[in-house]
Amino acid sequence: MAQPIGRFAIVGLGKMGGNLALNAARAGFEIVGVDPSGVRQELARSGVTSATLADLKSLPRPRFAMLYVPAGPLVDQLLHELGEVLEAGDIIADGGNSYWGDSIRRQARMRERGLHLVDVGTSGGPHGALTGCCFMVGGEREPVAKIEPILRRLAVPDGYVHAGGPGAGHFVKLVHNGIEFGMLQAIAEGIDLLTHYREKLPLAALLKCWQHGSVIRSWLVELMEQMYRQQQGGMDSVPAYVEDTGEVNWLVDDALHMEVPVPVIAQSVMELIASRDTDHNWARAIAMMRRGFGGHPFGPDKGTAHERHTGRVGPFVPSNAA
């Protein structure tokens, strides 16, 4: 029986990859970190060692590397470079928000070289990466089985699922993000209504109350309360401009191709875009919740806008595509 994987690489040590590296190190794994900025002190103190892609040759077989980098051409570049270092039977997991159609193509391309690519939709934000993620995995059974013990240890209880074959993990995560957008919009519109009542309402107290026994209790409502309190009961300092990386735009496009109606998700995307030309409290509320769960910026951000326009490499993939 093959030895379980105890030493592996995380490529990309930003908010998600860096916190996941800390999570893994604390769980007893030996982590090799690859990032243009090196390994920050907090990671180094936890035992994460700095390396280059070429250094991954020294990992025990089967070698395993997790990618936590922005979706788009950078993923293709890293896969090409890793293909020059790794060997048949080694495993790469893309934990970013790549388009599922791109993941299907990439998996087929890597399989031609004998390498396994697994798509790992990851939810929970930077806090979840540190304390326990929700993983939605797509890929062939054999490589998934080899990395499943790792992912289960890094996930919250019951926060792991092997959703299906290549692309399934990123598709499920994309649908998850669409649901998230709809929920954000509904909560935000409710906040806007509360702020327009004829007398000033105790908004933070209402949000706290809703977290205890109400039908709409959720982490997003909890984050809304936290962020509202951080703003000291005011929202005017938060720009009414909601930035995003564009994944849910892909989902709306997919829904049109699949002829599946998604009016709430589609409208939430339209409202998000509309926030960039308006000045409403609902937009501020969404920005506040997004800052809470993902550390997303307030107001326009050039880097995020670039990711929105470059994240998906290919178009929709029909169901009979290889």
Residues tagged active-site: 173, 180
Query: Which of 12, 7, 158 has the alpha carbon at shortest distance from 95?
Result: 12
H or E element at residue 229: helix 219-230
Phi, psi of 299 (to 5 degrees): 80, -175
DSSP state of 117: E
Sign of CA dihedral 272, 275, 280, 285: positive
How far, in Å, are 35, 48, 66, 152, 159 from residue 24 at the CA level?
17, 9, 12, 11, 16
Dihedral over alpha carbons 241, 247, 250, 256 (to 10 degrees): -70
Integer Rg of the chain from CA: 20
In the numeric block, which tokens belong to residue 119?
A: 């798509």
